[in-house]
């Protein structure tokens, strides 16, 4: 091909056909430019495809990260809640020497802490390409950035604060009370009788409960919102996928149409309650997946009215939502025209509830 163009160029110059040569030169330049533009277009197209694939991989990774982080947050909350209960016993002088000897968590009450870090692998894949995010994710992005940009610096800070405070406290015990040279009985006497220990316990509780645990609950709420939005964008989820991501979630019950829990549930005979998910602790929150197997949207309403708002408060047909309602609360399932077609009690155990027609 190049030999062909060179031959034309030589013939035009040899025959002194300057005007034709000029036109030929311009044409050749145009062809070169068109070739370059086509090559750039192909390269841009290929680059766009690669970036789009990275974005999809990033969002899939984010969903896995969110479930992992929600689990970690739950474990961290449980860790500090347990210690908070023990601190309450100490502050109210309801602990004995035997309790300290028998309960390692009580003896090492302020020794140990649990840190929480966000898994941000998926978000880090997205970060360089935020200007290329498809439009379908526009409504999600503010919430997603709030989860990673808003919470990540806070947890880094509070992790450092709790770590530093714990080491400063233990160092102070060593310097002021020669703590590490004390016998076990002398240490227990320090835990039970020292105002310094109780003051440290209350301050440690303030850091962990008032700041750490409260923001972990807020994080879980926002992480769930992002997770649900991603699932809605992707067209819903499969229960099997939930199980593969979260081994703590187990199937619990099926909500059949018109299988209602009576209003006087708390007063009926104990044996009658076995038909429904029964709860023990009403002060905690549950992890609950609700899968709608019907071709209809349903709404969730607490028996407490507006004070018991379920988040999210609706479930589209053939989809699943993830929520953290209060254990023991009763919820009704309503149609678009507000007809009650079923109800359930939030179980204590992390569970999956399935909405479907009663078999014939």
Q: Give strand pairing partners of 344.
A: 331
Largest Cα–Cα distance of the chain, in whole Å?
114
Least confident of 9-13, 91-95, 188-192: 9-13
Alpha carbons 198 and 191: distance in angstroms, whole number: 8
Give pLDDT, residue 16: 52
Cβ atoms of 202 and 87 closer than 8 Å: yes
pTM: 0.60
**For the segment 72-122, what is each residue's pLDDT rounded down to a tens digit?**
888 898 899 888 889 988 988 898 999 999 999 999 999 889 999 999 888
| Cα(232)–Cα(316) distance, integer angstroms | 9
| Token pair recorded at residue 68 | 């992992």
CA 44 vs CA 50, 310, 312: distances in Å: 10, 46, 40
49-80 burial string, b = 16+ CB within 10 Å, else e?
eeeeeebeebbebbbebbbebbbbbbebbebb
β-bridge pairing 314-315 and 298-302: antiparallel
Q: What confidence tier does 175 reach under pLDDT thresholds 50, 70, 90?
A: very high
pLDDT value of position 183: 93
Q: Which residues, 6 or more positions from 284, have their beta carbon under 8 angstroms from its beta carbon?
A: 326, 327, 348
The pLDDT of residue 185 is above 90: yes
Residue among 321, 130, 357 at smallest CA distance from 231 = 321
Higher pLDDT, 23 or 228: 228
CA atoms of 288 and 291, how far apart (whole Å): 10
- CA 118 to CA 68: how far, in whole Å? 9
Which of 138-152, 167-181, 331-345 bottoms out in mean pLDDT, i.e. has the lowest?
Answer: 331-345
- The pLDDT-based confidence of 312 (bands split at 50, 70, 90) is low
Q: Residue 274: its pLDDT value, please?
A: 46
User: What is the torsion angle, in degrees rounded to the nearest 10, for the CA atoms of residue 212, residue 312, residue 348 and residue 257?
Assistant: 180
Q: Which stretches of 194-237 are DSSP H helices?
A: 195-205, 214-233
3-state secondary structure of 314: strand
Q: Which three-class secondary structure state does DSSP give residue 86?
A: helix
Mean pLDDT of the chain: 75
For residues 19 and 11, what is the distance between their CA atoms, to the nearest angstrom? 13
The tally of CA atoms less than 13 A away on the side-chain side of residue 32 is 8
Contact yes or no for 87/205 (Cβ under 8 A): yes
Q: List the beta bridge partners of residue 356.
A: 256
pLDDT band at 136 (very low <50, low <70, confident <90, very high): confident
Q: Which of 170-179, 259-268, 300-309, 311-320 has the lowest mean pLDDT?
A: 259-268
DSSP label of 248: T
For residue 318, pLDDT over 80 is answered with: no
On whether the CB atoms of residues 336 and 317 are closer than 8 A, the answer is no
């Amino acid at each position: 091909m190049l030999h062909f163009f060179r031959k034309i160029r030589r013939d035009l110059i040899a025959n002194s056909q300057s005007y034709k040569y000029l036109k030929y030169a311009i044409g050749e330049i145009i062809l070169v430019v068109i070739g370059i533009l086509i090559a750039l277009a192909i390269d841009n197209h290929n680059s766009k495809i690669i970036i789009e694939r990275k974005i999809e991989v990033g969002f899939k990774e984010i969903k896995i990260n969110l479930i992992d982080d929600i689990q970690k947050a739950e474990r961290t909350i449980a860790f500090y809640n347990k210690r908070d209960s023990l601190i309450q016993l100490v502050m109210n002088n309801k602990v004995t020497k035997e309790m300290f000897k028998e309960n390692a968590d009580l003896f090492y009450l302020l020794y140990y802490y649990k840190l929480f870090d966000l898994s941000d692998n998926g978000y880090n894949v997205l970060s360089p390409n935020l200007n290329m995010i498809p439009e379908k994710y526009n409504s999600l992005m503010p919430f997603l950035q709030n989860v990673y940009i808003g919470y990540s610096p806070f947890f880094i800070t509070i992790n450092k604060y709790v770590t530093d405070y714990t080491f400063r406290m233990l160092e102070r015990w060593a310097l002021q009370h020669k703590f590490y040279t004390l016998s076990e009985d002398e240490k227990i006497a320090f835990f039970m009788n020292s105002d310094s220990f109780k003051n440290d316990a209350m301050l440690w509780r303030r850091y962990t409960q008032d700041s750490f645990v409260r923001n972990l609950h807020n994080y879980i709420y926002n992480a769930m919102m992002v997770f649900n939005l991603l699932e809605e964008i992707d067209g819903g989820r499969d229960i099997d996928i939930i199980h593969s991501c979260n081994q703590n979630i187990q199937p619990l019950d099926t909500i059949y149409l018109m299988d209602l829990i009576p209003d006087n549930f708390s007063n009926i005979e104990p044996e009658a309650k076995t038909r429904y998910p029964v709860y023990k602790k009403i002060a905690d929150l549950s992890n609950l997946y609700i899968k709608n197997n019907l071709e209809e949207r349903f709404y969730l309403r607490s028996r407490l009215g507006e004070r018991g708002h379920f988040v999210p408060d609706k479930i589209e047909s053939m989809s699943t939502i993830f929520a953290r309602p209060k254990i023991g609360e009763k919820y009704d399932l309503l149609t678009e025209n507000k007809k009650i077609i079923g109800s359930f009690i939030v179980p204590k155990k992390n569970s999956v509830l399935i909405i479907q027609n009663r078999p014939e």
